[in-house]
Amino acid sequence: MYTIVTGACGFIGANIVKALNERGVTEVIAVDNLKKADKFRNLTDCEIADYLDKEEFLDLVEAGQFDGAVDAIFHEGACSDTMETDGRYMMANNYRYSSSLLDFCLDQEVPYLYASSASVYGGGRVFQEAREHEGPLNVYGYSKFLFDQIVRKHMAEANSQVVGFRYFNVYGPREQHKGRMASVAFHHFHQYRETGKVKLFEGCDGYGNGEQSRDFVYVEDVVKVNMFFLDNPGKSGIYNLGTGRAQPFNDVAAATVNACRALDGQPALSLREMVAQGIVEYIDFPEALKGKYQSFTQADVGKLRAAGYQDDFATVEQGVAKYVRHLAK
């Protein structure tokens, strides 16, 4: 029997494969698209049973080759570029592909744990898993939103577990292949090491410089929540996966700089001192993002807690410090 992980060479998918290995699970089918070949590095310390291209895998699923052979599917594969403008590609890749795997899992009564996104909330201020709070700002968010609606329609009659995770701003190891879509912490680390400064957007939407706030969640916590639901197959639903705390981008910048300074044996600085010394620099807000940008996100984790997940989530200061030590190796 196999555990399937789509997007297995990607950020969250690779961390899930590693976590499965740490549990002794090595009969893992890694599914991905290696058009960007350097993603393979995310799996070099992992054990898998086989690798399949995402199109080949779907063809085999639809041909019945995996009938009766799957323990669970973690569907992490998606185009996550919020600036992608090819709506046909986004819908085929994120919506239609996800729907085909859902049909398979419901038919086979196999647990289906999939990646949704906090982008479904768009510019709203209430981040609660309810239709009235959802209004995506781009086609990426819409692709995730629409699939969540399909899941809701099937949930009542499903005889097996279906869980959607609305990931907020995830950061941590194994994201280096994402380029400009990598986390702010990743970019800040490299900016500081290369130039001695980090860059943040100036204020917008009524927020001061660097004060736009997001719910930043460390990838280790994301994986722990996925494993919790794997261990509790009777629990289904769509859940926010964030910390429940919004922290400004200034906090990420300060945490990154101070973690780097600590590695160099230097004392911590306040944000005010960083700005005065030119270590934190504010740049113009991009025109291309105006009207498409979430200036504030904060997961309502009440439903997740009610499902039984009670572990603490790392703060930005805790998670970034750990991540910087990893990046500096």
pLDDT digits (tens, 9 = 90+) for 53-65: 999 999 999 999 9
**pLDDT computed for residue 249 by the predictor:** 97
> pTM higher than 0.85, yes or no?
yes
Pairing of strands 50-53, 169-171: unpaired
Q: Which residue did the predictor score with more confidence, 204 or 297?
A: 297
Say what the pLDDT of residue 85 is: 65
Average pLDDT, rounded, for the chain? 94
Q: What angle do CA 116, 119, 124 make, to 5 degrees?
A: 130
Q: What is the pLDDT of residues 285-325, one digit of tens each?
A: 888 777 667 789 999 999 999 999 999 999 999 999 999 99
In the predicted model, what is the mean pLDDT of residues 35-57?
Answer: 95
Give the pLDDT of residue 268.
97
Residue 84 pLDDT grade (very low, low, confident, very high; cuts 50, 70, 90): low
pLDDT at residue number 115:
97
Integer Cα distance of 169 and 87 in angstroms: 23
d(CA 206, CA 215): 18
Strands 112-117 and 28-32, how do they pair?
unpaired
Rounded CA separation 172/168 (Å): 13
Q: What proportion of the chain, given as a percentage, has pLDDT over 70?
A: 97
Where do the DSSP E strands lie in 270-323?
280-283
Tell me which residues are annotated as active site: 140, 178
User: By the 8 A CB rule, do 299 and 241 touch?
Assistant: yes
pLDDT at 107 > cutoff 90: yes
Q: How high is the pLDDT of residue 79? A: 64
Find all residues with CB under 8 Å of 4, minimum gap 6, and list them: 28, 29, 31, 57, 66, 70, 72, 73, 74
Q: Can you read off the two tokens belonging to residue 31?
A: 């599914």
User: What's the average model confidence in pLDDT over 192-221?
Assistant: 94
